Amino acid sequence: METQNMPREQLGVCAEGNLHSVYLMFNANDGVEAQLRPCLANVAQYIYELSDQYADSAFNGFVAIGANYWDTIYGEQRPAQLRPFPAMQEGNRDAPAIEYDLFMHIRCDRYDILHLVANEISQMFEGLVELIEEERGFRFMDSRDLTGFVDGTENPKGRSRQEVALVADEDNQFKGGSYVHVQKYAHNLSKWNRLPQKKQEDIIGRTKQDDIEYASEDKPLTSHIKRVNLKDADGKSMEILRQSMPFGSLKEQGLMFISTCSKPTHFEEMLRSMVHGDGHGNHDHLMQFTKALTGSSFFAPSLDFLAQFAN
């Protein structure tokens, strides 16, 4: 990807994993757009500067705007492919859409800093927005999901994180931005933990302890890996950058699934393949053990896009 003339990306979009995260979902009050635009510019700039100040704790984050709110706040200059979350359902597999106006995603290896920054952001937004949802994520063991399987292994690495996650020349005005999809999954861990390990491994398509990918011929068509490992019409792998983390407490726990990508289609196709399957009855068996409670679609613009509205 051409990096010359690339607007500055928001650093949380492609950042490496952290120990802690805070997710804040807001809806905006009516008629506040003129004040909210500079406020979003300030919050994004604040997050950007903290990445330097707290570099030792790998602080990062991003601000994203909901697909249904975009036109209200930024009018006609809309990212070419921004659209609502693709709600879908088949059998007992449900992927509902629950949209929010704004998503603040902040991560750090120090929980106290995150708490401080979350308070600060909330204060910067005072009178403009309402906090609808808050979750806190954490690293579990050696970057495992609460199912006990390592999550993130096949994520793009190095510079290909940017190539996968950021809009490039195809939409010049929104270069350096990213399409973001969020689903809060609540796991049924008692059901999952009753499964013998080999059955769990067959559902994921990798070994549990050592995180080794099954040989192609051994991967069940209903395994998670099989369902999400898709190719486009040219035979090229469809990729997304996952920024998911476990969240919750004993009452409700699971995975905050977060995908960032230069286009929404890859996530949409993967989710379709999980829920509706391959047309031969092979859907993702992982969905028997976890339930999507939310599904939201956002765009995280470049820092420079947001900054043009600073006052």
Q: Which is nearer to ligand HEM, 106 or 274 (CB)?
A: 274
The active-site residue, picked from 101, 145, 151, 202, is 151
Among 9, 99, 135, 151, binds ligand HEM (CB under 6 A): 151
Cα torsion angle, 170, 174, 178, 181, sign: negative
Q: Which is nearer to ligand HEM, 8 or 272 (CB)?
A: 272
Q: How far is the CB of 60 from ligand HEM (least distance, A)?
A: 20
DSSP states along 239-275: --EE--EEEE-SSSEEEEEEEEESSSHHHHHHHHHHH
Q: How far is the CB of 214 from ligand HEM (least distance, A)?
A: 10
Among 94, 154, 171, 304, binds ligand HEM (CB under 6 A): 154
Mark the segment that binds ligand HEM (CB under 6 A) among 119-127, 150-158, 194-202, 299-307: 150-158
* Dist CA 258 CA 162 (whole Å): 16
* Dist CA 103 CA 96 (whole Å): 18
Sequence-separated (6 or more) residues with CB below 8 Å from residue 213: 154, 205, 206, 225
Mark the segment that binds ligand HEM (CB under 6 A) among 6-14, 67-75, 108-116, 145-153: 145-153
Mark the segment that binds ligand HEM (CB under 6 A) among 29-37, 106-114, 142-150, 167-175: 142-150
Residues 182-211 that bind ligand HEM (CB under 6 A): 183, 185, 204, 206
Four-CA torsion 174, 228, 145, 240, nearest 10 degrees: -20
- Record the tokens describing residue 64, joined without a space: 């994203």
Q: How far is CA 27 from CA 127, 128, 137, in A?
A: 11, 9, 21
Q: What angle do the packed helices 33-53 and 111-124 form, to 10 degrees? A: 160
* Dist CA 149 CA 213 (whole Å): 12
Q: What is the Cβ-side half-sphere exposure of residue 245, based on CA atoms within 13 angstroms?
A: 21
CB 114 within 8 A of CB 22: yes
Angle at 246 between CA 240 and CA 250, to 5 degrees: 155
Q: How far is the CB of 41 from ligand HEM (least distance, A)?
A: 31
Q: How far is the CB of 26 from ligand HEM (least distance, A)?
A: 23
Per rule CB under 6 A, count of chain residues that contact ligand HEM: 23
Q: How far is the CB of 228 from ligand HEM (least distance, A)?
A: 4
Residues 220-279 that bind ligand HEM (CB under 6 A): 224-225, 228-229, 240, 255, 257, 267, 270-271
Active site residue 232: no
Among 53, 89, 119, 153, binds ligand HEM (CB under 6 A): 153
Mark the segment that binds ligand HEM (CB under 6 A) among 36-44, 63-71, 116-124, 152-160: 152-160
Q: How far is the CB of 260 from ligand HEM (least distance, A)?
A: 12
Among 59, 69, 125, 149, binds ligand HEM (CB under 6 A): 149
DSSP state of 233: T
DSSP states along 30-46: TT-HHHHHHHHHHHHHH
Q: Which is nearer to ligand HEM, 40 or 271 (CB)?
A: 271
H helix intervals, the chain: 33-53, 70-74, 111-124, 160-165, 189-193, 197-204, 224-228, 265-275, 303-307
Residues that bind ligand HEM (CB under 6 A): 145, 147, 149-154, 183, 185, 204, 206, 224-225, 228-229, 240, 255, 257, 267, 270-271, 290
Which of the residues are catalytic? Answer: 151
